[in-house]
Amino acid sequence: MLLTDCIGRSGEQIVNASLMFPDQRILLMVQAPPGDREIAGFVQAHAGQIEQALLEHGAVLLRGFDVRSVEDFGRFIDATGLQRIDYIYRSTPRTAVGDKIFTATEYPPQQEIVLHNENSYQRDWPMKVAFCCLVSATTGGATPLGDMRQITAAIGPRLLERFAERGVRYVRHHRRHMDLSWQVVFQTEEPEKVAEFCSASGIEFEWLDPETLRTLQSAHGAAVHPISGERLYFNQAHLFHVTSIGAEGAKSLIQLFGADRLPRHATYGNGEEIAPEDLEHVRNAFRRHEVTFPWQPGDIVLLDNMQVAHGRRPFRGPRKILASLLDARSRYAAEPHAQEAPVGHGEERGL
C-alpha cells in the first residue's frame, strides 16, 4: 500500500510507505527508495511529510537505509533538526555511546520491560524518541508499541480524571548497591550538583546518610499533547509502584527496607496510596493494546513519545539498540484546550 499523500515523492520516484499493522494507525513503515539508501538526505528532503506522518501515526519506521553505526544514527538525528536531550535523573541503566546517544535500557536480557512513555515520571520529557537497531537479537528482543489513545480510552475517564487531578508522586531511595545509585541517577559525584539539579527541577531531597539519598517529586498524571490537544494518560506509576514486581516481590522489599524507604514507590501527588487494583487495571490496558514488530539491522524508529508507548521483549544473543531523547517538552509550556481521548465501549473503569 502506497501512502504517497502522507510521505510524498522523491523526485519522480514514489516513496514506498505502508502501515506495519493494517488494523492499527500506529507505525508507518517507510522503505528506502531503490538506489538511494542515504538516510540524512532523505529525511531532510521529506522532513515535513515525516513530521505529519508522525502526528497521524505516532511512529515511523525507516527501513532499508544505509545505517550501520552510531555516527550514521547521529547523522539521522541531525537531519531531523530535533534538539538532543541529555538523560539525567535516570531511572534505568544506560551507557552513553555518542553525543546524547545511549544504549537502550541495559536490564538483563531475560527481563521484560513493560510499555511506558519515556521520562513521563519527570516534569519535563522528550516529545520524540529515536531508536536505531545495529544488531538484532538472535531470538526475541522485539520492541512492543502501544497507542496511547487506545490505552487512555481503556483506562477510562474516571480513573484518568483521578490521575489528572491528583498527579503522581515518585519516592525514590538511591543507594549504591540497590537499584541505581545517586551518582548514576544524577550523573555526578558531587552532592552540590545534585542539590542544584533538584532545586531547579522541583525535586525534594534529603540525605539519610552519605550514600543514601531520598528524592520526592510530584508530577502529572495525564498530559495534553501540544499539537493534537488530546489529553492522554502520561505517567509511570505502574512502573514505580512497589507492586510492579509482583505481590511477593513487593512484600519482600517492604520487609527488607520498610514501607517508607523503598527503592522506588509511587503515590498520588497528595501522598495518598494508589489502589493496587487500579494500577493492575492500568497495566492490563497497556498489555491489551500492545503490538510488536521484529527489528532488522539498520532500522530506525522515530516515536511521538506522548502518542506511543514502548517496551522490550526478553531476548537471547547479542542485541544492540541505540536511543536518543529529542525535542524537550515542559508541562509548564502553554497548552491548547484538552480534548478527551475516546473511550472504548465496555472498557470504562467504574471507579
CA-to-CA distance for 49 and 55, rounded, in angstroms?
A: 10
pLDDT tens digits for range 99-120: 999 999 889 999 999 999 999 9
pLDDT at 305 over 90: yes
- Domain hosting residue 46, numbered range: 4-151+292-340
Is residue 257 one of the residues assigned to a domain? Answer: no
In the chain, the number of structural domains is: 1
For the segment 89-103, the average pLDDT, to the nearest whole number, is 91
| Domain membership flag for residue 230 | no
Concatenate the DSSP letters of all residues of 165-193 into one string: HH-EEEEEEEBTTBS--HHHHHT-S-HHH
Query: What does the block give as the cell for 304?
Result: 511521538
Among 8-12, 54-58, 294-298, 313-317, name the one with the lowest average pLDDT. 8-12
- Please tell me the pTM assigned to this model: 0.89
pLDDT bin (cut points 50, 70, 90) of residue 346 is very low
Q: Per the domain annotation, does 270 fall within a domain?
A: no
Amino acid, single-letter form, for residue 223: A
Helix axes of 47-57 and 70-80: crossing angle, nearest 10 degrees: 90
Domain membership flag for residue 314: yes
Please state, rounded to an integer, the average pLDDT across all residues of the chain.
Answer: 89
Residue 162 neighbours by CB under 8 Å, 6+ apart:
221, 268, 351
* pLDDT higher than threshold 50 for residue 339: no
The cell for 154 is 481503556
Q: Is residue 129 part of a domain?
A: yes
Query: Shortest CA distance to 201 belongs to which of 331, 335, 324, 334?
Result: 331
| CA–CA separation, 196 and 215 (whole Å) | 13
Cα–Cα separations (whole angstroms), residue 40 to 36, 63, 79, 127: 11, 13, 5, 21
Residue 162 falls inside a structural domain: no
Residue 62's contacts (CB-CB under 8 Å, 6 or more residues apart) are 30, 32, 39, 42, 43, 76, 299, 300, 301, 302
What does the DSSP assignment read for 226-250? TTT-EEEE---HHHHSGGGG-HHHH
Residue 145, domain member (yes or no): yes
Q: How confident is the model at residue 10 (pLDDT cuts 50, 70, 90)?
A: very low
Give the sign of the dihedral formed by CA 116, CA 117, CA 118, CA 124: negative
List CB contacts of 23: < 8 A, sequence separation 6 or more: none
pLDDT confidence bin for 333, thresholds 50/70/90: low
Q: The domain that contains 99 carries what CATH number?
A: 3.60.130.10
How does pLDDT run across 140-161, given as a tens digit for each residue? 999 999 999 999 999 999 999 9
Residue at 111 is within a domain: yes
140: left (phi over 0), alpha (psi -120 to 50) or beta: left
- What distances in angstroms separate CA 125 from CA 101, 145, 267, 314, 347, one per listed residue? 16, 18, 20, 26, 29
Contacts of 161 (CB under 8 A, 6+ apart): none
What is the model's pLDDT at position 211? 87
